[in-house]
Structure 1
């Protein structure tokens, strides 16, 4: 049995499988799929507080599939994925978020987007000036918290 913060071998296989379904490789942009070993290692190393939700999502996928998702053919995987999107709820959303956050912090993916693969500080990243009037409805709401002295 695995430790509470670790996935079983079958769950890791299913995570790799579903990650590749969410983000396939692109020859055009020269980027790997989300099942790339480095991206998968990042996912497993940084699951942290999301472990329980991701485990629930992977277990739900396996239940829908009737066996590990990784063992299904592509057509059946697609059927299971459609049902999972409809019934997965919060755990499914967490699983997708984990896949996306780890994928989009991979150096190869950042380079393909024209971004320098580095931490945002100390150099920072330049953001385009936005329309601050979009915040007016929020500012107009009554205060919900008391002001600090």
Structure 2
């Protein structure tokens, strides 16, 4: 079976619906939902190697719904989503990851989180120092890899 290069129209509609269910818009924080056109365009443009698993997840959702998810009323969508959480597997996890990674790349979302709109490197971000003693049990373990010869 060949890998799809892009999603079908029905799959794109379902992706939009699922994305809004995963991350709805928030008036309180003044951020769009993951169904926002800019976020959706980013998802579709950057699916790449995840296209196959995302398509499988969307097809699984449509099978559970008995038709495209976009055609269901919100209450039925929620019921299908609950069933999908239990049976989505790796494809479902990939779908959620894609939605979240694209959502949290959006400038409006980054601004709402108080983050600068820049790449993390080369400047990096300052992280608070943690309790390094938490690693002591790991450091105390004997090596479990064989030595290179």
In the superposition, the TM-score normalised over structure 2's length comes to 0.91
The 3-state SS of whatever aligns with 1:49 is helix
Structure 1, unmatched stretches of 5+, are none
**Per the alignment, do residues 146 and 54 of structure 1 end up closer, same or farther by CA in structure 2, a change over 3 Å counting?**
same
Aligned counterpart, 2:93: 93
1:57 counterpart SS class: helix
Mapped to 2, the partners of 1:144 and 1:41 lie a distance apart of 46
Aligned to 1:56: 56
Using the alignment, how far apart are the partners of 1:101 and 1:125 within structure 2?
Answer: 18
Structure 2: 5+ residue stretches without partners:
none
Q: 1:119 to 1:68 in 2, by over 3 A?
A: same
Q: Provide the C-alpha distance between the structure 2 equivalents of 1:15 and 1:99, rounded to a whole number of angstroms.
A: 9
Specify the alignment match of 1:5 in structure 2: 5
Query: 2:23 maps to what in 1?
Result: 23
Provide the TM-score with structure 1 as the length reference.
0.91
2:77 is aligned to: 77
Q: What does the per-residue CA deviation read over 1:82-135, in whole Å, with 9 as the maximum and x for residues that have no partner?
A: 000011111111111111111011100000011111101222111111112222
What SS does structure 2 have at the residue aligned with 1:129?
coil
Distance 1:97 1:144 in 2: 32
Change over 3 Å in CA distance of 1:4–1:111 after alignment to 2: same
Distance in 2, Cα, partners of 1:12 & 1:75: 20
| Residue 41 of structure 2 is aligned to residue 65 of structure 1 | no
Root-mean-square deviation over aligned CA pairs: 1.7
After TM superposition, give the deviation of residue 147 of structure 1 in Å: 4.7
Runs of 4+ residues over 3 Å off in structure 1: 140-149
By how many angstroms is 1:33 displaced? 0.3
Residue 142 of structure 1, CA deviation: 3.9
Give, in angstroms, the shift of residue 144 of structure 1.
Answer: 4.1
CA distance in 2, matches of 1:144, 1:43: 41
Aligned residues: 148
